[in-house]
Amino acid sequence: MATSNPTGAALALWNPGADEHDPISARTYGFWLYLIGDALLFCSLFASYAVLDNPVNAAGGPLTAQVINTPHGLWQTFIILASVLAYSLGTVSLKNGNAAGVQLGILAALLLGGAFLYISGTDLWALAAQGNGPTRSAFLSVFFTLLLTHGLHMLFGILWMLVMLVQVGVLGFTKDVVGRLLNLRLFWQFQATMWVCVYFYVYLLGGAR
Amino acid sequence: MSSHYNPLQHPEVQQGTTGRYIAAFLASAALMGGAYYASTQKLPLMEFAATAAALSLAALVSQLALFFGLNISQAQIWKGVALFLAIPLFIITIGMTVWAFSSLYSRTMPMDGMLMSGQPTLLQ
């Protein structure tokens, strides 16, 4: 029985009804895989911390219980969670195309992130000023490295927010800008997740020993 | 992509809700506040460690479910799968390192416990 198959320009080599390529999902998934790699970096720092947090590696200097401020750490926990909440609520405004709402959320998250870094920075600076800087002992080296690694992530996130504030205002909600806003949301939420791990392991467990 | 593609209609844009994010904040803050409160009580070390670990783990799970929005929907399932497959790597990275150095320290370092036990170390 004869059939009429399309030929030439009429021939479609793909299923026109199939799902189209989704660049936003591809980007957020790729960024998610990066975050898992970043989590492995933190795992290596936690492993180093566990190895070096003992009197032999303190070289006569202080250990965790003498260098941490657990109530400050709890305030930092609340602040970073509030910052993530502010950014996340900003992305709820994104659903309605509300640029002012998005920018307000980013601005609030940025200021709270700055407050977090200020507390962290002043605590570490005071510690170093007492002669307990990162070169004092192997333990203090890993203590500073762990906290500064998280702080550098936070600083990068704040710079990224500044860029996105401008891009939302200038470019609007293009496909690229929306993809970046979603990736920044993942990045910022990841910082709170890592801080919960730092607070539990360094501040709570370290302070109890 | 289609010329009619609207990025604001993307599932990952549309997934977030105010209620879910506020619930994530309240749950995480309450759980970590609870862990801090446990640290102010005079609990035995192991009992405190177990309590703080359970509360912190619950805070992490609440963040994954409510902030990150991980679930088994078509839009999110592969993020969950990637994380699920990576968790053993996290445990191996930390666990194997601690185990290896714990074993090394017990043979080479003049720790208090070693000195008190009377066993000579390689450094003595």
- In whole angstroms, give the CA distance from residue B60 to residue B82: 16
Q: Find the length of chain A.
A: 209
Query: Per residue in A97-149, pLDDT tens?
Result: 999 999 999 999 999 999 999 999 999 999 999 999 999 999 999 999 999 99
B5 & B27 share domain:
yes
Distance from CA of A189 to the nearest CA of B (A): 7
B57 & B79 share domain:
no
Q: Give the residue ranges of DSSP H helices in B1-124.
A: 11-14, 18-40, 45-62, 77-108, 112-117
Query: Per residue in B49-62, pLDDT tens?
Result: 999 999 999 999 99
Considering only CB atoms, B5 lies closest to which of A84, A97, A175, namely A175
Q: Position of tokens 């446990």? A: B38
Query: Per residue in B97-109, pLDDT tens?
Result: 999 998 888 888 7
DSSP per residue over chain A, as a string?
-------GGG--SS-TTSPPP-HHHHHHHHHHHHHHHHHHHHHHHHHHHHHH-SHHHHTTS--HHHH--HHHHHHHHHHHHHHHHHHHHHHHHHHTT-HHHHHHHHHHHHHHHHHHHHHHHHHHHHHHHTT-STTS-HHHHHHHHHHHHHHHHHHHHHHHHHHHHHHHHHH-S-HHHHHHHHHHHHHHHHHHHHHHHHIIIIIIIHHH-
B10 & B44 share domain:
yes
A199 touches chain B (CB under 8 A): yes
Number of domains within chain B: 2
Q: Give the per-residue pLDDT at B11.
A: 87
Fold held by A24-54+75-208: Four Helix Bundle (Hemerythrin (Met), subunit A) (1.20.120)
- Give B22's contacts in chain A (Cβ within 8 Å): 85
B8 & B57 share domain:
yes
Distance from CA of A115 to the nearest CA of B (A): 17
For the packed helices A138-171 and A175-198, what is the interaxial angle rounded to 10 degrees? Answer: 160
Sequence spans of domains, chain A:
24-54+75-208
- Cβ atoms of A142 and A202 closer than 8 Å: no
The domain in which residue B121 lies consists of 71-124
B35 & B77 share domain:
no
The complex's ipTM works out to: 0.86
- Give B19's contacts in chain A (Cβ within 8 Å): none
B124 & B76 share domain:
yes
Q: Give the per-residue pLDDT at B68.
A: 95
Considering only CB atoms, B48 lies closest to which of A23, A40, A208, namely A208
Nearest in space to B65 (alpha carbons), one of B13, B30, B17, B8: B17
User: Does the beta-carbon distance from A205 to B52 stay under 8 Å?
Assistant: yes
Considering only CB atoms, A189 lies closest to which of B10, B63, B97, namely B63
Q: What is the CA radius of gyration of chain B?
A: 23
User: What residues of chain B, 38 to 67, have a C-beta less than 8 Å from chain A?
Assistant: 39, 45, 48-49, 52-53, 56, 59-60, 63-64, 67
Residue B115 pLDDT > 80:
no
Q: Give the per-residue pLDDT at A11.
A: 53
B118: left (phi over 0), alpha (psi -120 to 50) or beta: left
B62 & B86 share domain:
no
Q: Give the per-residue pLDDT at A154.
A: 97
Residue B114 pLDDT > 50:
no
Distance from CA of B13 to the nearest CA of A (A): 6
- Work out the average pLDDT over B35-42: 94
B104 touches chain A (CB under 8 A): no
User: Does the beta-carbon distance from B29 to A78 stay under 8 Å?
Assistant: yes
Residue A12 pLDDT > 50:
yes
A204 touches chain B (CB under 8 A): yes
B44 & B65 share domain:
yes
Which residues contact residue B80 at a Cβ distance below 8 angstroms, ignoring those fewer than 6 apart? B70, B71, B72
Let me know if A65 is exposed, middle or buried by CB neighbors in 10 A (0-12, 13-18, 19+).
exposed
B87 & B105 share domain:
yes
B85 & B63 share domain:
no
Residue A17 pLDDT > 60:
no
Nearest in space to B58 (alpha carbons), one of B76, B33, B86, B21: B33
Band of pLDDT at residue A37, cut at 50, 70 and 90:
very high
In the predicted model, what is the mean pLDDT of chain B?
A: 86
Distance from CA of B117 to the nearest CA of A (A): 17
Q: Give the per-residue pLDDT at B124.
A: 37
B40 & B57 share domain:
yes
Q: Give the per-residue pLDDT at A3.
A: 52
B49 & B84 share domain:
no
Residue A47 pLDDT > 60:
yes
Query: Per residue in A135-167, pLDDT tens?
Result: 999 999 999 999 999 999 999 999 999 999 999
Residue B120 pLDDT > 50:
no
Considering only CB atoms, A88 lies closest to which of B14, B56, B67, namely B67
Considering only CB atoms, B8 lies closest to which of A36, A46, A97, namely A97
Let me know if B82 is exposed, middle or buried by CB neighbors in 10 A (0-12, 13-18, 19+).
middle
Closest residue of chain A to B49, computed from CA coordinates = A205
Band of pLDDT at residue A54, cut at 50, 70 and 90:
confident
Band of pLDDT at residue B119, cut at 50, 70 and 90:
very low
- In whole angstroms, give the CA distance from residue B98 to residue B93: 9
